[in-house]
């Protein structure tokens, strides 16, 4: 790190041609098809189509907001931070699990209507809102918390930079359920723990400060545990945080095998 401080940045530099930001924002028409479901009105789900004018920098979440705020207030979806860190707005956009706030219109094929559906495998409650309880249940079952029975140090526990790096990837998880609900195995009967639970187990199993790795491996050695992973990589592809989920699951499998022999 020291070498960075040695170089005090220049007081003044030439700024290259203007880049990024607000340059020439174009407007265009977008057609969206949104899967609607409201059991108060009908047991049947249906598709609604909306045509809205959007800007080049807009995201799918902006479309949903525009529809909700200007056309149909009854459209229901979850959202909060709107920049991909809270994990509220995972949905199926053009058949792929994405966060609506992280999917830019310029990255989609706008010549066809954009389709938006709730994530699969969890029971739909209304429009794009699903019941997240089963998802969090699986999360709770893998004991997602540090267990350390040793004596409490007066200061922090020490951990080397390498040991900290070992589980860095899986600490990024925001529990949006994009991975679990993209997994064909989970779609069948919801019994599989699912990628998200395994990712969060991985975060503790490979944390050098934790003592309950064995218990978590035991939990995931279940008939519905890691062995149901078919390495389809759907989860890795769906993860908005870029976590190498399938790799993490493979590492947990290896740890279970290593423990048995």
Which lies closer to another protein via its Cβ, residue 73 or residue 95? 73
d(CA 80, CA 244): 25
Site for another protein in 55-84 (CB under 8 A): 57, 68-70, 72-74, 76-84
Site for another protein in 201-230 (CB under 8 A): 204-205, 207, 209-215, 217-219, 221-225, 227-228, 230
Nearest to 235 by CA among 259, 200, 205, 204: 200
Contacts (Cβ under 8 Å, ≥6 apart) of 145: 204
The region of 26-34, 111-119, 184-192, 243-251 touching another protein under the rule CB under 8 A is 184-192
Nearest to 186 by CA among 142, 135, 247, 140: 135
DSSP string for 166-223: HTTGGGG-----TTGGG-HHHHHHS-S--HHHHHHHHHHHT-TT-S-HHHHHHHHTST
Rounded to the nearest whole angstrom, what is the least distance from the CB of residue 53 to another protein in the complex?
15
Rounded to the nearest whole angstrom, what is the least distance from the CB of residue 225 to another protein in the complex?
7
Residue 43 contacts another protein per CB under 8 A:
no
Beta bridge pairs of residue 93: 96, 116
Give the one residue of 29, 44, 133, 151 binding another protein; rule: CB under 8 A. Answer: 133
Site for another protein in 86-115 (CB under 8 A): 86-88, 102, 104
The region of 28-36, 44-52, 108-116, 130-138 touching another protein under the rule CB under 8 A is 130-138
Site for another protein in 232-251 (CB under 8 A): none
Site for another protein in 139-178 (CB under 8 A): 140-141, 143-149, 152-153, 155-161, 163-164, 167-168, 171-175
> Does residue 245 sit in helix, strand or coil?
helix
């Amino acid at each position: 790190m020291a070498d960075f401080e040695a170089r005090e940045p220049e007081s003044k530099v030439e700024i290259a041609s203007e880049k990024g930001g607000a340059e020439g924002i174009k407007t265009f028409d977008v057609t969206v098809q949104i899967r609607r479901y409201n059991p108060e009105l009908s047991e049947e789900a249906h598709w609604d189509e909306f045509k809205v004018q959007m800007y080049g920098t807009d995201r799918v979440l902006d479309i949903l907001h525009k529809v909700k705020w200007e056309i149909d207030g009854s459209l229901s979806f979850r959202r909060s931070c709107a920049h991909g860190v809270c994990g509220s707005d995972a949905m199926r956009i053009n058949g792929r699990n994405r966060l609506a706030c992280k999917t830019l219109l310029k990255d989609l094929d706008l010549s066809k209507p954009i389709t938006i559906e709730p994530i699969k495998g969890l029971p739909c409650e209304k429009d794009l809102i699903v019941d997240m309880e089963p998802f969090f249940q699986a999360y709770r079952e893998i004991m997602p918390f540090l267990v350390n029975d040793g004596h409490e140090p007066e200061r922090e526990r020490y951990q080397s930079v390498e040991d900290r790096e070992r589980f860095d990837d899986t600490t990024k998880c925001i529990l949006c359920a994009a991975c679990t609900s993209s997994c064909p195995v989970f779609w069948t009967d919801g019994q599989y723990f699912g990628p998200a639970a395994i990712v969060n187990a991985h975060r503790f199993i490979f944390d050098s400060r934790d003592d309950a790795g064995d218990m978590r491996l035991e939990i995931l050695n279940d008939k519905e545990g890691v062995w149901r992973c078919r390495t389809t990589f759907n989860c890795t592809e769906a993860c908005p945080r870029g976590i190498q989920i399938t790799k993490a699951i493979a590492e947990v499998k290896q740890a279970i095998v290593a423990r048995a022999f």
